[in-house]
Amino acid sequence: MQAFNKIIGYENVKKELMRIADILKNPEHYKKLGAKAPKGLLPDGDPGMGKTLMADAIIESSGRKAFICRKDKPNGSFVEHIAQTFEQAKKNAPSIVLLDDMDKFTNGDERHPDAEEYVTVQSCIDEVRGKEVFVLATVNNIRNLPRSLRRAGRFDRTIEVQAPRGRDAEAIIAHYLGNKKFVEGVDAKTIARIMDGRSCAELETVINEAGLYAGYERAEYITMDHFMEACMRTIFDVAAK
């Protein structure tokens, strides 16, 4: 399960993800007990929370071949691409289909329950049932998906990935501070209090921006002033001095 070492913090989420990866890698232990692998997993959370990193960790740990589908084609050909992705996964089972940012498969950020893309995904999931194809789909807003698609039987597990707080936030910030030259006294706990409720991507960006400000000033160390300036610019869009 070394792939999960890349995920900093999120200890409770990691435990659940590791269980799923173990089920996919060692199904025989569960079959002896009459237990079946879940048919699919939906990590749900705002952008920048590390959902794709978590999905990649499941794929790597499971040892299964993965077939990845992202919205990078025009609407007509994309629907065909979805079907082809599932067909390849079925031919190479046991396998995983990763539908990355599935709620972006249709145009816009609103609900499109009858969109052809979602109808196709739903149909494909039903077609690979019983074929040892695990469906993993990251979403930024699960409410934009039709209920028929996200129900049990298609996606048996949903994991809500929230902004890191407390010890999780401190662990992530400590990781980002690891190779940065901050002045003494600036620690993960202090920054975690200031950045409470912010995404992993925002934490990384602000800390790096602070280093850029310090570098421009030819400073020997990154100070709290540099950090606060980066925070105001990145989080609150207040222009740097």
Q: What confidence score (pLDDT) does residue 108 get? A: 60
Q: Which residues contact 125 (CB under 8 A, 6 or more apart)?
A: 39, 40, 86, 135, 149, 154
Summarised one tens digit per residue, pLDDT across range 106-155 is 876 666 768 999 999 999 999 999 999 999 999 999 999 999 999 999 99
**What's the whole-number mean pLDDT along residues 192-200?**
93
pLDDT of res. 72:
82
Return the pLDDT at 214. Answer: 97
Binning pLDDT at 50, 70 and 90, where does residue 160 land?
very high
pTM: predicted TM-score of the whole model, two decimal places:
0.89
Question: What gap in Å lies between CA 33 and CA 31, rounded to an integer?
Answer: 5
For residue 211 the two structure tokens come to: 């280093």
User: What does the DSSP 8-state code read for residue 1?
Assistant: -
C-beta separation of 204 from 216 below 8 A: no
Contact indicator for 58, 138 with CB cutoff of 8 Å: no
% pLDDT > 70, the chain: 96
The pLDDT-based confidence of 236 (bands split at 50, 70, 90) is confident
| Rounded Cα gap, residues 111 and 66, in angstroms | 28
Distance CA 97, CA 59 (A): 9
Instruction: Kindly write down the DSSP assignment for every residue of 20-33, as one continuous string.
Output: HHHHHH-HHHHHTT
At residue 8, φ and ψ (nearest 5 deg) are: -95, 135
H-type alpha helices, 65-197: 75-91, 116-127, 147-150, 166-177, 188-194
CA distance 151 to 113: 13
62 neighbors 24 (Cβ within 8 angstroms): yes
Tokens at 46, concatenated:
């705002």
Average confidence (pLDDT) over 227-233: 94
If residue 193 lies in a helix (H) or strand (E), which one and from where to where? helix 188-194
